[in-house]
Structure 1
Amino acid sequence: MSAINISAIEAGQLWSFHGGIHPPERKQLSNQTPIQTLPLSKTFVVPVKQHSGNSGEILVAVGDYVRAGQPLTQPGLQRGLPVHAPTSGTVLAIDEQPIAHPSGLTDLTITLAADGQDAWYPTTPCPDYQQLSRAELLERIQAAGIAGLGGAGFPSAQKLALQRPLEYLIINGVECEPYITADDRLMREHAAEIISGTEILMQVSGCNKALIAIEENKPEAIAIFTQLLSERAATASSIALRQVPVKYPSGGEKQLIEILTGRQVPSRGLPIDVGLLMHNVGTAFAIHQAIVLGIPLIQRVVTVTGEQVDKPGNYWVRLGTPVADLLAYAGFHETTGKAAQRVIMGGPMMGFALANLQVPVVKITNCLLLPSTTELAPAQQEMNCIRCGACADVCPAQLLPQQLQWLAKAKDYDGLEQQNLFDCIECGACAYVCPSEIPLVHYYRKAKAEIRNIAREKAKAEIARERFEARQERLEREKQERLERHRQAAEARKAAQAEAVAAGADNPQDAVQAAIARAKARKAAQAAAAAKANDSAEGESS
């Protein structure tokens, strides 16, 4: 960054990003009461993979007794992120179960029957973490199973392991999507721990400046952080608070970076490409828990909200808890048939409806929304695009949503790549303003999934091709080795014949015949000796 840019950031200047919308916030439904702790469920279903990237290798077997915080998987050769037991109990099954996914997919899970004791696995707290090396801190963060809790679920240790010069660490407390207040309540009740986690992140990343960004519609959280930062003289100059204007999706990674620094992350690029690193406030809190207290990531705050729930609010929920258990505690009464109540995991803009309430809460589950039909109308019949251009006006990534939809319908994947489909953050702003009720994000998600599948199949085919070519090379090499052995043997025979001639034989063939005769004579002598031995043995026995 230029010196002028740095001085403007230090002065607290804010910028803006293209597009954006202002949907009704509806946060008062759930942010008025402290975070409650959900009672333990009787059964937990823990997906082996709850993050972006590879899954870990399973450490337990059916029938094993485990304790809360005990690793159920290990990173293994693929460096997958581990998951931990949410409580103590017995492993009931290791099999495929439905998971929280828009398509209702199944995935490998570990089912645990809780014993109700909540006995803990030994922890390794380290309050004096400043004495630990960067590698040791990274290993602890990895071992604690911490992934980004803002929604993407990227392993935090891998993100921190990237080694490039950093200007700022950004802690994202914007939480711009309507209804969701999990980060808001966490910041109000655990601001000191979030600041501690920020300091740990600064030490690990080697960055000496941090910005904590909070949206202006969270005055209580802003007041608490303002007070704590002013009291901490050691960090007051290195950690600064920024109040972000209310606009959706200002909490998107690239959008928040542009607001705070005026910089744009390049297409398909990362924040580190412009000297920045971003983590969610929930991630900072989890890192404090993991390093200072030695507690792995086994629970998170989940907002339960909407007019169809009796006790909207925020809850500490153990990972692997069935959604149905959380909703029952919050006062939701499930209906079936045509009038079945929608349960949306996530917010109204980026969330998706659940087809099965037995799916588990996972690391990226931040909200369960239960709206009435009056507050959030069901999807209407899709109509033809009228080319109004409203979607392009509000797109924060400055894409052409209309063009992307046409390409997605036509399965023109090369065209989608050229139009930067993967720059889409799936914020839903385009669908929100579409007068034709076109579910634009649905088309983008489906196209992204298909492109990824094609890439995986292409990678598999490439691996198969390489294996085939390696096999062909090996067979050809073995063939050449055999031919070389035959050639050497032939040369050896010729050499033997030459030696026989040199020894005085009149004809090389005579020497060969003589050698054959000698071999036959030796075999005959051996046969006669064996027959004589047999006769002697028979004579002695008689």
Structure 2
Amino acid sequence: MQSLHNVLERLKSGRTWDFPGGVHPVDFKTISNTTVIKRPSLPECLYLTVKQHIGLEGQIIVAPGDKVLKGQALTKNSHPLSVPVHAPTSGEVVAIAPHVSAHPSGIAEATLQIKPDGEDKWIDLTPLTNYQSLPKPELIEAICSAGIAGMGGAGFPTHIKVGVQKEVEYLIINGVECEPYITSDDRLMREHAWQIRQGIDVLTHILNPKHIIIAIEDNKPKAIEAMQVACQENRKYLVCSVPTKYPAGGEKQLIQMLLNKEVPSGGLPIDIGVLTHNVGTCYAIADAVFSGKPLIERVITLTGKALSKPGNVWALLGTPMSHLLDFAEYDVKKQKRGQRLIMGGPMMGFSLRSDHVPVVKVSNCLLVPTDSEIPLTEAEQACIRCGACADACPAGLLPQQLYWHSKAKELDKAQDYNLFDCIECGACAYVCPSQIPLVQYYRQAKATIREDEKEQIKAAKAKERFEARQARLEREKEAREEKHRLAAEARKKRAEATPVKDTADQIDDSVSESDPKAKVAAALARAKAKKLQSAPSNTESTEQPEKAQKSAAVQAAIARAKAKKEQQAQQTAEAKEETPSQKSAAVRAAIARAKAKKEAAQQNLEKPTAESNEPQDTSSQELEVSEMTAEEKKKARVAAAVAKATAKKEAERQEKERSDNSVAGEQAHNEPAQEVEASEMSAEEKKKARVAAAVAKAKAKKEAEQQEKESTDNSVSDEQSQSAPTQEVEVSEMTAEEKKKARVAAAVAKAKAKKQAERQAAQQNDIDNPEDKELTE
């Protein structure tokens, strides 16, 4: 490795290093570099592709129908890797739609279509002539706002390059332009060397490099002379020529030739303290800083023997190639196999699918060759493993291995052979005897790998979002559970802190809402309690207010109990009056129906024997009579059981009323809850009694109807129509099975009545015992 002093001395002496591989094609530069840069007329429509650089497209800020001025921004930055696009002239935005793009595939991309108005009116420009007094971030922002991207072919956003934080030791200005046919940089350095130097001054101010080297290929002597004259005032600027060899203009190859340094695999020049910029980029930076103009045009070479007037032109961005072909007088007859257009040079360029492709920021050449000038590629042959591609590769790769793995879609193995270190210079394809388009295979493999990486990034982001969502839902769930737990604890604490008196008052309120008398009594009791609390106490102890409250509560409970008992007694009396009347009505109806049936049966028996041909009808009537008698007996048993149960309940109720009257004055603060239970029991008993009465009534009605059908005997019907004692005799005449069922029903009714009486007695004891204790105390 040479020292810094030796490197500079070597360059000043005109000596350089070399890089491996490379080729020496015929340059054909004299076709287009003999005339000055011209400016064609305005096209009828400009097609501005939204994304013209490496990175992300900006956000469109205009709409169809908008009037725009020259230099007006049409998009804005939506990401650090995006730069805006500006209107190349004044006019109207007529459409925003997909249009064929400057890409090998010709894929349609979002495009702004502007129809020029011919006025070419500028917006207000703001130059930064005193740039040296401005902060560096402000200058970088001005470069970004001007929409400048690398104009040497890569199209990387310039503001990202100049905004590096690492120390820059060498700033290399690339004016090599090694691609055959292309002369745009040559003519730009010849005609605008002074403005290029201004751009170098701005970069030097921002980056503060130790050394600045302007490299130009030795086949451009006039450009070298012009740049030496422009840079002679600054001793830090070193203009040196490099040998003509393709691809000497490659970034990594140029660094190796000038500094004898090699950029590591997968690394960048800044990793070794070097930064490179194209002369066209320097010109655009000077325009943006000293004139305030955004990047709206560039120099493009129109060359090839199929053009009658080749040369270099200032082409507005968005100009369709058809317009440039008309300006250079394209001769269709010289391309007998059809129109053949190449964007770029013969080594790294690509064929265009349409002449409507617009000029973009990285367009530097439009090559229109004749059929004999650049023959069409012959059919691809099998690789013969000659090794010529490996000898020509300037990156020191193994092109044949990359070809095999790329063709077989073995992308992992292709990356193992450093696929992305390939600069796609085309030297391997240039020397291949089998006419294999090696670079196309490499580009396809790279594109596939990039797409796979994008999908993996999307999948990783989706997974991250999903996991974040799951974590958020889990946190929300835990927060809800904690909230519910705290609320439950708070409710529990409030319930424990609530006095028994409040609970009793709530029960009193709920009970008294349905009973006006109890409500009035409760209100009077509360008023007495409030009066007792407000009265002054001078001799009693602190326990007197509590006793007063208890006595008031007892009085209120007694009043409510009396009101409830009166209501229950009234309801019971009405039920008693209703049940006998219903039973007597049912018995009278049954007797009437039985008599009617008996008379009908007697009339049938008195008919002549000539009508005895209907024995089946008579026998069926007799069977119905016998069945009705059995059902009537069952009805009697049920009615007796219901009457017995009703009498039992009435006796228990009367006993309970006597016990309640005896202890009504001794009930304390627990009485309200007990009264609620008693009232609920009375209601349940009344409900059961009503259900039992309804069942007995229905059964009695059904038995009466069956008796009417079965009655054929006068003595039986007379006994049934007399009274209840007659029914008891019939019960004694029942069959053994019917007697068993009657005894079971009576036993069940007696057991239920006894159980109910025991439960009421137990509840009454629970009520009485606390009262006895309180009285003794």
TM score, norm. by length of structure 1: 0.91
- Residue 3 of structure 1, CA deviation: 7.4
Q: Provide the residue aligned with 2:31 in structure 1.
A: 29
1:227-271 CA-partner distances (Å, limit 9, x unpaired): 3333x2xx1x10001100010000000000100100001112111
What are the equivalent positions in structure 2 for 1:146-157 lying under 5 Å apart? 146-157=148-159
SS at 2:276's partner residue? strand
1:107-147 CA-partner distances (Å, limit 9, x unpaired): 11111010011111111123332222211211111111111
What are the equivalent positions in structure 2 for 1:304-453 lying under 5 Å apart? 304-334=302-332, 339-453=337-451
* Cα distance in structure 2, aligned partners of 1:475 and 1:71: 44
What are the equivalent positions in structure 2 for 1:62-461 lying under 5 Å apart? 62-78=64-80, 80-230=82-232, 232=233, 235=234, 237-334=235-332, 339-461=337-459
- 8 Å CA contact retained: 1:380, 1:437: yes
* Cα distance in structure 2, aligned partners of 1:222 and 1:277: 21
1:481-522 CA-partner distances (Å, limit 9, x unpaired): 22222222332333234334xx458xxxx95x9757757978
* Cα distance in structure 2, aligned partners of 1:260 and 1:441: 27
Gap runs ≥5 in structure 1: 526-542
Counterpart check, 1:8 vs 2:3: no
- 8 Å CA contact retained: 1:202, 1:208: no
CA 336–303 in structure 1, closer or farther in 2 if over 3 Å, else same: closer
- Residue 5 of structure 1, CA deviation: 3.7
* Cα distance in structure 2, aligned partners of 1:131 and 1:498: 77
- 8 Å CA contact retained: 2:334, 2:370: no
* Cα distance in structure 2, aligned partners of 1:289 and 1:522: 92
* Cα distance in structure 1, aligned partners of 2:258 and 2:515: 99
SS at 2:298's partner residue? strand
Q: Provide the residue aligned with 2:43 in structure 1.
A: 41
- Residue 10 of structure 1, CA deviation: 4.0
* Cα distance in structure 1, aligned partners of 2:515 and 2:212: 95
* Cα distance in structure 1, aligned partners of 2:29 and 2:53: 27
- Residue 43 of structure 1, CA deviation: 0.5
Q: Provide the residue aligned with 1:61 in structure 2.
A: 63
* Cα distance in structure 1, aligned partners of 2:162 and 2:313: 29
* Cα distance in structure 2, aligned partners of 1:375 and 1:308: 9
Q: Percent identity?
A: 52
Q: Provide the residue aligned with 1:486 in structure 2.
A: 484
* Cα distance in structure 2, aligned partners of 1:423 and 1:482: 55
1:362-418 CA-partner distances (Å, limit 9, x unpaired): 000000001112110111111111111111111011111111111111212222222
- Residue 328 of structure 1, CA deviation: 1.2
Q: Provide the residue aligned with 2:606 in structure 1.
A: none
1:57-98 CA-partner distances (Å, limit 9, x unpaired): 212111111111111111135552011001000001112211
SS at 1:36's partner residue? coil
Higher Cα Rg: structure 1 or 2? 2
What are the equivalent positions in structure 2 for 1:513-528 lying under 5 Å apart? 515=506, 518=509
- 8 Å CA contact retained: 2:81, 2:157: no
CA 260–518 in structure 1, closer or farther in 2 if over 3 Å, else same: farther
CA 319–523 in structure 1, closer or farther in 2 if over 3 Å, else same: farther
1:277-328 CA-partner distances (Å, limit 9, x unpaired): 1000000111111111111110000001111111110000000101111111
* Cα distance in structure 1, aligned partners of 2:39 and 2:448: 39
- 8 Å CA contact retained: 2:56, 2:79: no
- 8 Å CA contact retained: 2:96, 2:111: yes
- 8 Å CA contact retained: 1:55, 1:81: yes
What are the equivalent positions in structure 2 for 1:463-478 lying under 5 Å apart? 463-478=461-476
Amino acid of the structure 1 residue aligned with 2:58:
G
CA 491–251 in structure 1, closer or farther in 2 if over 3 Å, else same: same
Q: Which deviates more from structure 2 when the two are superposed, residues 484-493 or residues 414-423?
A: 484-493
Q: Provide the residue aligned with 2:767 in structure 1.
A: none
- 8 Å CA contact retained: 1:56, 1:79: no
- 8 Å CA contact retained: 1:216, 1:244: yes
1:206-245 CA-partner distances (Å, limit 9, x unpaired): 1142100000101111122233333x2xx1x100011000
1:155-207 CA-partner distances (Å, limit 9, x unpaired): 11110001111111100000000000000010111111111111111111111
CA 128–514 in structure 1, closer or farther in 2 if over 3 Å, else same: same
Q: Provide the residue aligned with 1:530 in structure 2.
A: none
- 8 Å CA contact retained: 1:82, 1:143: yes
How many equivalent residue pairs? 514
TM score, norm. by length of structure 2: 0.64
CA 518–434 in structure 1, closer or farther in 2 if over 3 Å, else same: farther
- 8 Å CA contact retained: 2:199, 2:285: yes
Amino acid of the structure 1 residue aligned with 2:183:
T
* Cα distance in structure 1, aligned partners of 2:338 and 2:170: 47
Amino acid of the structure 2 residue aligned with 1:244:
V
- 8 Å CA contact retained: 1:9, 1:260: no
Amino acid of the structure 1 residue aligned with 2:132:
Q
* Cα distance in structure 2, aligned partners of 1:457 and 1:343: 34
- Residue 99 of structure 1, CA deviation: 0.6
